[in-house]
Amino acid sequence: MDTRPPGAAPIPEDDLHALVDGRLDAQAAEALRLRLAADPEALATVQAWQAQREALRTLHAGTEDLPLPASLVGTARRAERAHARASQWWRWGGIAASLMLAFGMGWFGSGQWAAKHGDRLARAEPARQFARQAAVAYSVFQPEVRHPVEVTALEQQHLVQWLSKRLGKPLKVPVLTAQGYELMGGRLLPGEDGARAQFMYQNNAGQRITLYVGAVKAGGKGDVRETAFRFLDDGPVPAFYWIDQGFGYAISGPLPRPALQELARVVYGQL
Amino acid sequence: MNGIQLVQQLPGLRRYARVLTGDAWAADDLVQDTLERACVKWQLWVPGSDLRAWLFTLMHNLYLNQRRAAKVALNSVNIDDLEGELQAPPDGSTDPLDLRRCLQRLPADQRAVLLLVTVEDMSYQEATRILAIPLGTVMSRLSRARSRLRELMEGRPPAARPERTRRPRCAG
């Protein structure tokens, strides 16, 4: 039976859904209800769908109050950490990019300068950038509670093989036990001259230091194959660094200069 | 670092998983899989965008993949043999258990739209994003789901009435 006035347009079904789902504004909903009063079939449909909607919502209403299984919470936490790492990686990438830019500009600037004043200083610059990157990498990963390292010291042999392969140089992991530091593990990081390895150590007080290793190519005339120990004190944390056979090493950590120098000396002696 | 809060999304994810799968155990497995997927897919999430919608999309895609994978197994049971079990009694029902069964009787794609729109109270636009289908498809699936569920709950066989269309109905 249709009691609609003759000639009245039928109500589009999408409007019925929108009414049931509360997607119409007050005015449109009111207008539609008026039309429904004259269309029993459509009204019955709306009423049935409304009852259905309520029944479905009731059927599943209690779910969110159920206690969450520990396994799900654990995985959710892990996913949160994965996200934090992913965004840290972005941030780190941003820092690396800006460092690279600074490096490029500095290099260009000092290159100009070096043309007049000799290139001694210019050649030292990549080493300094290397040390800065080491300090940045330290400050990014040192605060990590659960994942300060990618591969833990438990897998030290694997870690060393892996990083050696990626850096293209057989690496040795210095032992700093006598200085109170135990190896936690390491991770692989990007650098502008290829991969970089970061080894993290921690002492009983929870103080962390890192050893950052990677190839350092100097631009301009001739590589910087060797440098003496240098101290970086304008990075996020202080660092002692040096270059040996084209490879850079930086010891970073929030330590007084003499303590850091002593660690650098021990590391150098073992490498 | 503004960490994201995933744990508070769990109740909503579980609820949707339960209505999708109709099974508490399967639902938690699906949520688990969704979280695992999020771990490796974070770079695809645009920070600041709707986290819930993104997770629902992951879950929905996983669900469909799993169903596809399980299709052979599902086909080994003829759904029509279960009709008496899955359908409400002939005089109709308002029993939640019947509703649960009838819901599982709906095709998965129709069920998904219906549940997003009702249980999750999402807009039709949100549903289009999560299911990656056009608005017209959302509306037609919603229509079929509502009509079919109504028939099932009223104990009516589907053949008893002509297929509804989304076109305005004819007068008379």
- Cβ–Cβ of B150/A71 closer than 8 Å? no
pLDDT reading at B133 higher than 80: yes
Per residue in A53-76, pLDDT tens? 999 988 877 777 778 888 888 888
User: Looking at chain B from residue 47 to 66, which residues have their Cβ under 8 Å from any Cβ of chain A?
Assistant: 47
- Cβ–Cβ of B36/A69 closer than 8 Å? no
Residues in chain B, how many? 172
Amino acid sitting at position A19: L
The pLDDT assigned to A96 comes to 52
Residues in chain A, how many? 271
Please list, in sequence order, all residues whose beta carbon lies within 8 angstroms of the beta carbon of residue B138, skipping any fewer than 6 positions away. Answer: B113, B124, B127, B128, B131
Per residue in A205-230, pLDDT tens? 888 999 999 888 765 445 556 777 88
- Cβ–Cβ of B124/A23 closer than 8 Å? yes
Q: Is the dihedral of CA A25, A26, A31, A32 positive or negative?
A: positive
The pLDDT assigned to A21 comes to 95
CA A143 from chain centre, in angstroms, equals 12
- Cβ–Cβ of B118/A9 closer than 8 Å? no
Q: Please tell me the distance in Å from B63's CA to the nearest CA on chain A.
A: 17
pLDDT band at B74 (very low <50, low <70, confident <90, very high): very low
CA A146 from chain centre, in angstroms, equals 14
DSSP codes of every residue in A62-94: GGGGSPPPHHHHHHHHHHHHHHHHHHHHHHHHH
Of A53, A69, A86, the CB nearest to B118: A53
CB atoms within 10 A of CB A195: 16
Smallest CA–CA distance from A42 into chain B, residue: B169
Smallest CA–CA distance from B25 into chain A, residue: A69
Q: Please tell me the distance in Å from B68's CA to the nearest CA on chain A.
A: 24
pLDDT reading at A91 higher than 80: no
Phi, psi of A190 (to 5 degrees): -80, 145
Please list, in sequence order, all residues whose beta carbon lies within 8 angstroms of the beta carbon of residue B109, skipping any fewer than 6 positions away. Answer: B131, B141
What is the rounded CA–CA span in Å between residue B103 and residue B22?
8
The larger pLDDT score, comparing residue A91 to residue A173, is at: A173
Q: Residues of A with CB below 8 A from B42's CB?
A: 79, 82-83, 86-87
Q: CB distance from B40 to chain A under 8 Å?
A: yes
Per residue in A31-61, pLDDT tens? 999 999 999 999 999 999 999 999 998 887 7
Lowest mean pLDDT of A36-45, B20-29, B73-82, name the range.
Answer: B73-82
- Cβ–Cβ of B139/A86 closer than 8 Å? no
Lowest mean pLDDT of A33-37, B49-53, B82-86, name the range.
Answer: B82-86
DSSP codes of every residue in A135-187: HHHHHHHTT-SS-S-SEEGGGHHHHHHHHHHHHTS-------GGGT-EEEEEE
The pLDDT assigned to A103 comes to 45
User: Looking at chain B from residue 10 to 39, which residues have their Cβ under 8 Å from any Cβ of chain A?
Assistant: 10-12, 14-15, 18-19, 28, 31-32, 35-36, 38-39
pTM summary value: 0.52
pLDDT band at A6 (very low <50, low <70, confident <90, very high): low
